[in-house]
Structure 1
Amino acid sequence: MLDANLKTQLQAYLQKVTQPFEIVASLDDSDKSRELLGLLEDIVGLTDKIALKTDGSDARRPSFSLNRPGADIGVSFAGIPLGHEFTSLVLALLQVGGHPSKLDAETIAQIQSIEGRFEFETYFSLSCQNCPDVVQALNLMAVLNPNIRNVSIDGALFQDEVERRQVMAVPSIYLNGEVFASGRMEVKEILAKIDSGSAAREAEKLSAKDSFDVLVVGGGPAGAAAAIYAARKGIRTGVAAERFGGQVLDTMAIENFISVQETEGPKLARALEEHVRQYEVDIMNLQRASALIPAQAAGELHEVKFDSGASLKAKTLILATGARWREMNVPGEQQYRGRGVAYCPHCDGPLFKGKRVAVIGGGNSGVEAAIDLAGIVAHVTLIEFDDKLRADAVLQNKLNSLGNVNVIKSALTTEVKGDGQKVTGLVYQDRTTDALHEVALEGIFVQIGLLPNSDWLKGAIELSARGEIIVDSRGETSVPGIFAAGDVTTVPYKQIVIAVGEGAKASLSAFDNLIRSA
């Protein structure tokens, strides 16, 4: 099941297991059960600390749980956790086997103190780069607190269950049988939802912090570069981010970041955060900015308020809040978001296996999505507003070679259709004839570009007609002492490598401003 190199690596990790435990598998006579059994036999063959039993009674088959004698641990997987979830499996093996996590002591204590009963079910797909964060967070919580249990379910393998529950996006989390959340979540986000007082306590703690010399708002490539350059100057630096990594976390393949031939978004995001943590930077994650109050006079501090209720002050600011997926803004889109309308083909594509889908947008992202989906779904309809595709020629050539894809150009999507529970089709207008046409399908993947995350800045600094922060050649905004970088600004070409450079430039400009105003 596992190749020789992977076995060697896994065996080295399993040496960290200090407390014996057992894997209990629930199997049937299916090919997938045989495949899972092969994986589990490979694992137990690498260490004498793990035993395998095949007499499990779980109704989901194939599945398995991790049980440590003398401990009540609720960690299980329904499916075969390979792909992006192989790391989740390895971490679960180590943590159930007694290897400590890297979570801070305060958060561990908070998890261990939670009372009640929390039965989580997490639906994932093996190609989803957002899912492992959720699976790993819930598994760790289940290891630390016997009141918390989590079963991670491969939605592509348990299609009947996915259909019954109308799961059309991953990760999707159920708690005690009810919908809990969807999308990427970290431990502290989950805690904030099940421990009602945690968000207020965290906000109070942040608001009590001393002011910063440089406060970076946003944790994507621009924000990370800005923080590193500021910290290297020896000044008090903070980063407040809704999620560290930003839009990069939703990017699958990255092949144009100079000196790195190929990587994946989540991997690059982790590298960015690890680099920032090499310096004395105060990282404040899960903080969504809600308002900017610029300094009113020389010597005063700028203030940023957050949705959590926290407030931070600084001598200079670097705004690097990035961008988000642009929506179609047509009837039915919001009603069926997560129920057929999706924005991440890598994450949610496997849930539409054998079905008909549309991709909205003919740029690189849209054409890449159509190519990827064509290998999973029954049929792809790509809809482009313009009279020609805008994707690179090599991508268009690949698209045109696929037999289960058709392209409709000069088309404006006007409505998402559904039956009240899920998407059933879409309506588009032919821009050459104004005629309306309906396409029957089960999924719609929107790939029409980005919108700057700048709504919270309206009225505080100057924005362009597109909502981008207007910056000069030094990255300074219309307000002295406030700088901006990355996809949220008017700087053209929204690329990771450009965002990194702009973040560094804004940071150097902020430092120069501090020196001149001291």
Structure 2
Amino acid sequence: MAKNYDVVIIGAGPGGMTAALYASRANLSVAMIDRGIYGGQMNNTASIENYPGFKSIMGPDLAQNMYDSSINFGAEYVYGAVQSIEDRGITKLIKTDSEELEAKVVIIATGSEYKKLGVPGEKEYGGKGVSYCAVCDGAFFKNKHVVVVGGGDSAIEEASYLAGIVDHVTVIHRRDQLRAQQVIQDRAFANDKIDFVWNTNVTEVVGDGTKVTGVKTHNNQTDEDSTIETSGAFIYVGLLPMTEPFQNLKITDADGWIKTDDQMETAIPGIYAIGDVRQKELRQVATAVGEGGIAGQQAFKYIEAHNAQSKSSVSES
């Protein structure tokens, strides 16, 4: 038998936890499912300096604070990996790897993950010089030299952002021209703190055991191998939305991102999506929290409207 809730939230990152807080505070029964520890990518961030209310806070500490708030009004935390959602109209059936839950509203907050280069040293030096977020970590490299790997909008925008903080930025791109929008390219080319290495792949991230000291590269035109000394490697080779379990619902675009309106509702009434699982420009704790608040409140309004409609139908009969 499926466990019944008013709201089931899939994902316990900052967006999911905020949605749980708002929905449970509205006296709704709430379950928050995650396949890992609550907090999401905050647990991999040493220090967060751009979340209002804190000059600086350790990522795991902020995650714990948010979790404590999210369950304060009765929301339950459920460990599990969601396999699928079945739309049954008034209710939705959520199947995990160990149980089934049924809810009137589902809020998807599974986020996205950065594509990895898959080279030696990348995982080892994660958080020790390898980063996938300039806004999050750029300040740690003030007056240092860093490399940016990639040639799309995100890579070049972040290179320009980093140039305002670090001493110098080297962009490493596997092609002979950028894929970023022309206006973004022009801005980067005009910045004398940014240089470019073309037709080159990063083959390894190297370090001294505690921090990054360089990247090994291979020129795919000349077959020349070399090493670029650097204090940090910012990798932007794409993002992957974590939406595979929801493909049957047909609520994603061609690239797998979930499409919503301004109220975070998908094309299916009663199913909402928030945070990094949506196609958007800024992926930060603050934006996820805002969307979580909207979705939590909309869940309450959605259920209230359906309850009122049901009572009206009963009285008319």
Q: TM-score, normalised by structure 2?
A: 0.72
Matched to 1:241, the amino acid is D
Q: C-alpha distance in 2, partners of 1:384/1:313? A: 42
| Equivalent position to 1:515, from 294, 304, 312 | 304
CA offset digits 1:393-431 (Å, max 9, x no partner): 6742543269xxx9752545546369xxxxx944245xx
Distance 1:288 1:428, change over 3 A: farther
Q: C-alpha distance in 2, partners of 1:276/1:245? A: 11
Once the two structures are TM-superposed, the CA of residue 290 in structure 1 deviates from its matched residue by 2.3
Pair 1:227-2:20 in alignment: yes
| Equivalent position to 2:58, from 245, 264, 277 | 264
Distance 1:500 1:394, change over 3 A: closer
Q: C-alpha distance in 1, partners of 2:101/2:143? A: 44
Pair 1:458-2:219 in alignment: no
| Equivalent position to 2:46, from 213, 235, 252 | 252
- Aligned residue for 1:470? 259
CA offset digits 1:265-313 (Å, max 9, x no partner): 111101111111211111113x222222222x4x3x212222x332222
Question: Partner of 2:278: helix, strand, or coil?
Answer: coil
Once the two structures are TM-superposed, the CA of residue 218 in structure 1 deviates from its matched residue by 0.6
- Which structure 2 residues correspond to residues 38-49 of structure 1 after superposition, within 5 A? none
Q: Which structure is richer in relative contact order (CA contacts within 8 A, separation 6 or more)?
A: 2
Question: Partner of 1:254: helix, strand, or coil?
Answer: coil
Question: Structure 1 regions of 5+ residues with no counterpart?
Answer: 1-207, 350-358, 419-423
Q: C-alpha distance in 2, partners of 1:398/1:412? A: 26
RMSD of Structure 2 on Structure 1 (CA): 3.6
Distance 1:224 1:304, change over 3 A: same
Question: Partner of 1:290: helix, strand, or coil?
Answer: strand
Q: C-alpha distance in 1, partners of 2:61/2:216? A: 35
Are the counterparts in 2 of residues 239 and 283 from structure 1 also a CA contact under 8 Å?
yes
Distance 1:408 1:386, change over 3 A: farther
Distance 1:510 1:401, change over 3 A: closer
Are the counterparts in 2 of residues 362 and 390 from structure 1 also a CA contact under 8 Å?
no
Matched to 2:85, the amino acid is L
Are the counterparts in 2 of residues 316 and 482 from structure 1 also a CA contact under 8 Å?
yes
Q: C-alpha distance in 1, partners of 2:229/2:94? A: 42
- Aligned residue for 2:122? 341
Are the counterparts in 1 of residues 84 and 94 from structure 2 also a CA contact under 8 Å?
yes
Q: C-alpha distance in 2, partners of 1:288/1:415? A: 33
Are the counterparts in 2 of residues 361 and 382 from structure 1 also a CA contact under 8 Å?
no
Once the two structures are TM-superposed, the CA of residue 232 in structure 1 deviates from its matched residue by 0.9
Matched to 1:288, the amino acid is A
Are the counterparts in 1 of residues 8 and 106 from structure 2 also a CA contact under 8 Å?
yes
Question: Partner of 1:229: helix, strand, or coil?
Answer: helix
| Equivalent position to 2:272, from 483, 496, 500 | 483
Pair 1:438-2:225 in alignment: yes
Once the two structures are TM-superposed, the CA of residue 469 in structure 1 deviates from its matched residue by 0.7
Once the two structures are TM-superposed, the CA of residue 450 in structure 1 deviates from its matched residue by 3.5
Once the two structures are TM-superposed, the CA of residue 216 in structure 1 deviates from its matched residue by 0.6
- Which structure 2 residues correspond to residues 319-334 of structure 1 after superposition, within 5 A? 319-328=108-117, 333=118
Distance 1:471 1:341, change over 3 A: same
- Which structure 2 residues correspond to residues 367-386 of structure 1 after superposition, within 5 A? 371=141, 382-385=148-151
| Equivalent position to 1:309, from 98, 103, 118 | 98
**Paired residue total:** 272
- Which structure 2 residues correspond to residues 393-408 of structure 1 after superposition, within 5 A? 395-400=162-167
CA offset digits 1:59-93 (Å, max 9, x no partner): xxxxxxxxxxxxxxxxxxxxxxxxxxxxxxxxxxx
Matched to 2:23, the amino acid is A
Are the counterparts in 1 of residues 4 and 101 from structure 2 also a CA contact under 8 Å?
yes
- Aligned residue for 1:89? none
Are the counterparts in 2 of residues 227 and 239 from structure 1 also a CA contact under 8 Å?
yes
- Aligned residue for 1:427? 218
Q: C-alpha distance in 1, partners of 2:260/2:199? A: 33
Q: C-alpha distance in 2, partners of 1:441/1:410? A: 10
Question: Partner of 1:391: helix, strand, or coil?
Answer: helix
Matched to 1:416, the amino acid is T
Q: Which has the larger radius of gyration?
A: 1
Pair 1:213-2:6 in alignment: yes
Q: C-alpha distance in 1, partners of 2:20/2:133? A: 35
Once the two structures are TM-superposed, the CA of residue 260 in structure 1 deviates from its matched residue by 2.2
CA offset digits 1:138-194 (Å, max 9, x no partner): xxxxxxxxxxxxxxxxxxxxxxxxxxxxxxxxxxxxxxxxxxxxxxxxxxxxxxxxx
| Equivalent position to 1:502, from 291, 298, 305 | 291
Once the two structures are TM-superposed, the CA of residue 254 in structure 1 deviates from its matched residue by 1.8
Matched to 1:427, the amino acid is H
- Aligned residue for 2:178? none
Matched to 2:94, the amino acid is V
- Which structure 2 residues correspond to residues 76-475 of structure 1 after superposition, within 5 A? 210-242=3-35, 243-285=37-79, 287-295=80-88, 297=89, 299=90, 301-306=91-96, 308-328=97-117, 333=118, 336=119, 339-342=120-123, 345-346=126-127, 348=128, 363-364=134-135, 371=141, 382-385=148-151, 389-391=156-158, 395-400=162-167, 409=196, 411=198, 413-414=200-201, 416=203, 425-429=216-220, 435-440=222-227, 447-448=235-236, 450-475=239-264
Q: TM-score, normalised by structure 1?
A: 0.46
Pick which of 312-321 and 444-453 moved more.
Answer: 444-453
Distance 1:479 1:382, change over 3 A: closer
Q: C-alpha distance in 2, partners of 1:216/1:362? A: 26
Q: C-alpha distance in 1, partners of 2:303/2:19? A: 15
Question: Partner of 2:20: helix, strand, or coil?
Answer: helix
CA offset digits 1:13-49 (Å, max 9, x no partner): xxxxxxxxxxxxxxxxxxxxxxxxxxxxxxxxxxxxx
Identity in percent: 24
